[in-house]
Chain A
Amino acid sequence: MSRLNVNPTRMELKKLKARLSTAVRGHKLLKDKSDEMVRRFSILIKENKRLREEVEEELSKTLKQFSIARSVTPAYRAEAAFAMPSVEVKAACDVESVMGVEVPKIDLIEEKHADGLPYAYSEITSEADYSVAQATELLPKMVQLAKTEKTVRMLADEIERNKRRVNALEYVMIPQLEETIKYIKSKLDENERAAVIRMMKVKNKG
């Protein structure tokens, strides 16, 4: 490991020692942060997997059912029936912080509409009504999944970045500082010994 290019003086030694203690403290903090992030990540990813399996299964079922239900009605009539949705789902979007990472926080805003479905009953079969109701029911779960998955992805990125920082400190910065401090110390000791010897020689001459 290469040492830093500094003058071997007491001033430098003092500065380097301060830097080393900061680096060691920073390393410890970052490592703790990394541990905690990994802990949260493993909880989140399990939840994510569960949610995704649920959503995928239900969604596939709903979509399949819908496409069968729709096939009974001529395409243009189905298009017309769904062309003007009377409802619009909205979500309250906020940001929360997980270990210093800004992640989305979403709550679905429930809007109850009077007749339940955004089209006339005569236009479409009742099976399709059922699919639409199912899709509406599925939405909160999908939003939940969207939120969890995004959090997982962002957390994964942050863990990776943090790991890099920890490694840089542990394997580059700290050894470098330690080696430089050792070098300066040995230089200073040597100077001191040289001074003592010089003194002794001068004294012997007189």
Chain B
Amino acid sequence: MIGKMAIVGDGDSITVFKAAGVAAFPAENEGKAREILRKIAKEYKIIFLTEELARPLADFLKRFDEEPYPVVLSIPSKSGSTGYGEEALKSAMERALGVDILFNN
């Protein structure tokens, strides 16, 4: 099974990946991003989403966790990491293990 990759984010952050061969979908706000995700979720197997957009869409993104595909990954945008990825990791760990074994704070 061959899957395509896509990236959703604000203009500047995604252009470079467009050149690298990842399909780029510009979205300036979360409403737009939600619309785009809904449209491309079937076609693209791996979708990168900038953290600024992933944070307000956390509940919406949960539904993708039921199935193996598509894989949605939040990535930092050009303004740097907001720590969202770590937060998500932490919450998954606390749900599964009940304790924090990585960050210890």
What is A's interface to B at a CB cutoff of 8 Å?
A: 38, 41-42, 45-46, 48-49, 52, 55-56, 59-60, 62-64, 66-67, 70, 78-79, 82, 85, 87-95, 102-104, 106, 109, 111, 117-119, 128, 131-132, 135-136, 139, 142-143, 145-147, 149-150, 152-157, 159-160
Instruction: Name the CB-closest residue of A to B7.
Output: A142
1/0 contact string of B1-19 vs chain A (CB within 8 Å): 1111100000011011111
Whether A104 pairs with B22 at a CB distance below 8 angstroms is no
Compute how far the CA of A82 lies from the CA of B12 in the bound complex, rounded to whole angstroms.
11
Whether B96 pairs with A89 at a CB distance below 8 angstroms is no
What are 6 pairs between A and B in contact, CB < 8 Å? Answer: A64-B78, A70-B12, A93-B46, A135-B19, A143-B5, A153-B88
Chain B residues with Cβ below 8 Å from A145 are 73
Compute how far the CA of A64 lies from the CA of B73 in the bound complex, rounded to whole angstroms.
20
Assuming A135-B17, A142-B48, is B68 touching A154 (CB within 8 A)?
Answer: yes
Whether B4 pairs with A45 at a CB distance below 8 angstroms is no
Assuming A90-B2, A109-B2, A142-B48, is B92 touching A156 (CB within 8 A)?
Answer: yes
Compute how far the CA of A156 lies from the CA of B20 in the bound complex, rounded to whole angstroms.
33
Interface size on B (CB < 8 Å)?
42
The distance from the CB of A169 to the nearest CB of chain B, in whole angstroms, is: 19
Q: Say yes or no for B42: interface residue by CB 8 A criterion.
A: no
Compute how far the CA of A78 lies from the CA of B89 in the bound complex, rounded to whole angstroms.
36
Instruction: Name the CB-closest residue of A to B45.
Output: A93
Assuming A46-B102, A132-B16, is B2 touching A146 (CB within 8 A)?
Answer: no
Chain A residues with Cβ below 8 Å from B41 are none
What is B's interface to A at a CB cutoff of 8 Å?
A: 1-5, 12-13, 15-23, 45-46, 48, 65, 68-69, 71-73, 75-78, 80-81, 85-86, 88-89, 92-93, 95-97, 101-102
Compute how far the CA of A152 lies from the CA of B88 in the bound complex, rounded to whole angstroms.
10
Chain B residues with Cβ below 8 Å from A136 are 20-21
Assuming A45-B89, A60-B76, A150-B65, is B2 touching A92 (CB within 8 A)?
Answer: yes
Chain B residues with Cβ below 8 Å from A159 are 95-97
**Pick the contact of A63 from B23, B65, B73, B78 — CB < 8 Å?**
B78
Whether A92 pairs with B19 at a CB distance below 8 angstroms is no
Taking each of A79, A88, A103, A111, which has the highest tally of chain B beta carbons within 10 Å of its own beta carbon? A88
Chain B residues with Cβ below 8 Å from A153 are 65, 88, 92
Whether A132 pairs with B20 at a CB distance below 8 angstroms is yes
Chain B residues with Cβ below 8 Å from A143 are 5, 46
Instruction: Name the CB-closest residue of B to A103.
Output: B68
Whether B89 pairs with A118 at a CB distance below 8 angstroms is no
The distance from the CB of B10 to the nearest CB of chain A, in whole angstroms, is: 11
**Pick the contact of A59 from B4, B19, B75, B86 — CB < 8 Å?**
B75
**Pick the contact of B71 from A52, A63, A104, A160 — CB < 8 Å?**
A104
